[in-house]
Structure 1
């Protein structure tokens, strides 16, 4: 028996007829209920745990290896006796100093009468169970394809919700990023965090339309005409999530570039003002340097000479100030 935690359910006619039985009893339950389908979930199993159930369901060794090793890409692999699917449930948090994203890998073995899920971390799957239990009429006579649909529906809806959350967080920071003189540093760091979260989220989300399209292929033989509209709805949500991420990524890049340009404009304005003030200060400096030479000059050691020098300083400096002010340098 597998040593990892195992959860089991047996569905017949769209309803649960047995649950909580051990992995060893799974094959026996399927024999006792010829029209039933099995869901078995293993939490963080090692290779020995999967090898314990592999003979009963004819699981391919390569698929078992992929299910054990972390960080597999989202994909659907076809083997002679089953399919192997790998997807990611995601969640984003936008309320902190920077947005963060968490993801949980879920691998699945899809046979004719069983869906075996492998969770590599303790992700909450109550949403999947509620989705399976919400529509027993649709589940009736739909077999394993309905279980796969429920899993994909919840995963893709979570991905779409995460993409929308990041897009809405961008709305709140857009005005602050486009402030005159550039955004404050916390706002700018939040923008960089948004860009990083979008890039991380796109990796598990972008392959989903291709994965669902592969599930729908006729040669796979999993989805019948009754369930195809529901799978197409999931495919639509997956494509919308990808489009939202792509649009948000282009948008945040444009906002950060605009903020950088605004900072450059503000820096140029400050540099221009400093240069103007330096020119104003240079004029009296030159005049005082001239009158400070150790040689007699007009007004030397007289009050009139002091008054004349001060007058020249004020007139020349004031004239330069007025000229620079009209040119917009000050």
Structure 2
């Protein structure tokens, strides 16, 4: 008969089984080696798993079978990290954890917005982390992170490994006393890292807008590249608002959840909610600033065009006076080359030189 192991023994001994008794008669053929009970192999998507008890790290790597056992032990805190799991792998794990089928849909559903979904057995959180080191002025790189929050465990599901979970783990283990509060401490540390990355990129956009505002008023003129840059910043802000503003609902929902109502966690979630509000307000102010810069650029271009038109009209009026006088009196006075074929070439050359000079002057002043 197989020996039934406690959670701690299952973790320490893994899949060890009780050895069969030795045969009583040496002449009797040895019985066939018994087949060990079936255990699921660790899926390839299992990237990391850690176990804490009372804030102290017990194990930094466990298998999926031990995870299923330990996750129901209220004396320990478990974190499991899955990267790019298939629907079948995630559904299998959900069944073993007694989670509903909707948990898989929440974690892998396409085009999910940041949200907090409540279920009888768990909470499902979906957020988007910004990758400042991988983003460019033309493209905002993001990474989607979903999480199942169980009273004694946090299971993160990532579509790729671009987000640095090592930094999150470092945050968790900086405060062992906070880990004693349960999975709420884990989801707080994860969301805090996500919001910090969003703040970093918002600050980058704010610095770019300050530079653009300086260029707008410092230069005599701005070219099409300025308008293109403004358009790119506006596009990034639209994308950023879609992932930053819903974070208010996510954090507010966690604050209201009874499982997160621990006196230890409440001030930390209040601080996180304040950061989320500031990030949302900052994106709104940046959107207004971008719109103002775009409208100011148009107004300055209109003002500049009006100035050019006034100068051209002034030049036209000055030239029109002698033209009108000479045309009215039909003046035809002798000039160098008069009644001589050379005069034709001299007048034609004079016209070309004067027209060319005016063109260069207008071009240098950007009137043409």
Using the TM superposition, give the Cα deviation of residue 169 of structure 1 relative to its aligned residue in structure 2, in angstroms: 2.1
Using the TM superposition, give the Cα deviation of residue 287 of structure 1 relative to its aligned residue in structure 2, in angstroms: 3.3
Which of 303, 312, 321 is the equivalent residue of 1:283?
321
Checking the alignment, whether the CA contact within 8 Å between 2:94 and 2:103 is kept in structure 1 is no
Output the aligned Cα RMSD: 2.5
Distance (Å, rounded) in 1 between the aligned partners of 2:224 and 2:333? 56
Q: How does 1:307-322 map to 2 (within 5 A)?
A: none
> Which is higher, the Rg of structure 1 or of structure 2?
2
Which of 218, 221, 226 is the equivalent residue of 1:187?
226
Checking the alignment, whether the CA contact within 8 Å between 1:6 and 1:23 is kept in structure 2 is no
Distance (Å, rounded) in 1 between the aligned partners of 2:64 and 2:221? 60
SS at match of 2:254: helix
Map of 1:257 onto structure 2: 295
The answer for unaligned runs of 5 or more in structure 2 is 1-39, 339-368
Checking the alignment, whether the CA contact within 8 Å between 1:57 and 1:111 is kept in structure 2 is no
Checking the alignment, whether the CA contact within 8 Å between 1:90 and 1:159 is kept in structure 2 is yes
Tell me how many residue pairs correspond in the alignment: 295
Deviations 1:110-133 (A, max 9, x none): 112211110012122111111111
Q: Are residue 8 (structure 1) and residue 8 (structure 2) matched?
A: no
Which of 291, 309, 319 is the equivalent residue of 1:271?
309
The answer for unaligned runs of 5 or more in structure 1 is 293-298, 307-330
Map of 2:284 onto structure 1: 246
Distance (Å, rounded) in 1 between the aligned partners of 2:191 and 2:333? 96
Q: How does 1:152-171 map to 2 (within 5 A)?
A: 152-171=191-210
Checking the alignment, whether the CA contact within 8 Å between 2:50 and 2:79 is kept in structure 1 is yes
Which of 92, 106, 126 is the equivalent residue of 1:66?
106
Map of 2:129 onto structure 1: 89
Checking the alignment, whether the CA contact within 8 Å between 2:116 and 2:249 is kept in structure 1 is no
**Alignment TM-score, normalising by the size of structure 2:** 0.74
**Alignment TM-score, normalising by the size of structure 1:** 0.82
Comparing 159-168 and 232-241, the one that deviates more: 159-168
Comparing 261-270 and 13-22, the one that deviates more: 13-22
Checking the alignment, whether the CA contact within 8 Å between 2:135 and 2:141 is kept in structure 1 is no
- 1:260–1:267 Cα change, 3 Å: same
Q: How does 1:94-243 map to 2 (within 5 A)?
A: 98=137, 100-122=139-161, 123-140=163-180, 142-179=181-218, 181-218=220-257, 220-243=258-281
